[in-house]
Amino acid sequence: MAEEEARVGPAGLSVERRDEVRAVIERVTGWAAGRADVGGVLLVGSWARGAARADSDVDLIVLTTEPGRYADDEAWVRELALGEVIRNRVWGPVTEWRHITASGLEVEVGIGPLDWARTDPVDGGTRRVVTDGALSLHDPRGLLGALTAACGRSAQVSSVPASLPKSRSGSGGGAATSRP
């Protein structure tokens, strides 16, 4: 019993789940760093604000100079291998790609244009996303730092949220599939 309790942290988060989330974040951040068109990756929602529960999904926003390219060519979905794509829909300027890993973790990757992070003025929807919890994971152009500052939050760039333990493996889920 004590061993099981040691494997489950706050909000019922198992070490395995935290490791899986860390691996997903590291995979997406590493992938983004190798792409000249990606101007930012933002972790948003419960994982960014440190309030994730056992059933929380991972919400990422990827800003790019070529958002249409990601809709036209799904090679990036296969490269990231975040699991099966279970939903694809448009939310204003951002297109959501919701994946599910073999373990059942849902990972939402929103692909949007760089101007999603514009600060003069900050879009109301963007402001709500950022103020609800946001952590800049990749910000080579300083867009996300400026955005978080404009939204009244301190800018912090991190490869992985401090609340997650160091990953023990690179495993993040099953093979990717095409959009449904």
Residue 168 confidence class, pLDDT cut points 50, 70, 90: very low
CA distances from 35 to 13, 41, 79, 88, 121 (A): 32, 12, 12, 22, 27
Beta strand pairing call for 38-44 and 84-91? unpaired
Round to whole Å and give the CA distance between 28 and 89. Answer: 20
Check pLDDT > 60 for residue 94: yes
Q: What is the pLDDT of residue 152?
A: 87
Q: Residue 75, class by beta-carbon neighbours within 10 Å (0-12 exposed, 13-18 middle, 19+ buried)?
A: exposed
Q: Mind listing the pLDDT tens digit for each residue in 99-144?
A: 999 999 999 999 999 999 999 999 999 999 999 999 999 999 999 9
- Provide the pLDDT for residue 71: 87
Q: What percent of the chain has pLDDT over 90?
A: 72
- What confidence score (pLDDT) does residue 177 get? 32
Residues 11-28 have a mean pLDDT of 92
Looking at the predicted structure, is the pLDDT value of residue 162 above 60?
Answer: no
Query: Binning pLDDT at 50, 70 and 90, where does residue 38 land?
Result: very high
Does pLDDT of 96 surpass 70? yes
pLDDT of residue 166 exceeding 50 = no
Kindly report the average pLDDT of the chain as a whole number: 84
Q: How does DSSP assign 111-126, residue by residue?
A: EEEGGGG--TTPPHHH
pLDDT (0 to 100) of residue 154: 53
Residue 65's pLDDT is what?
97
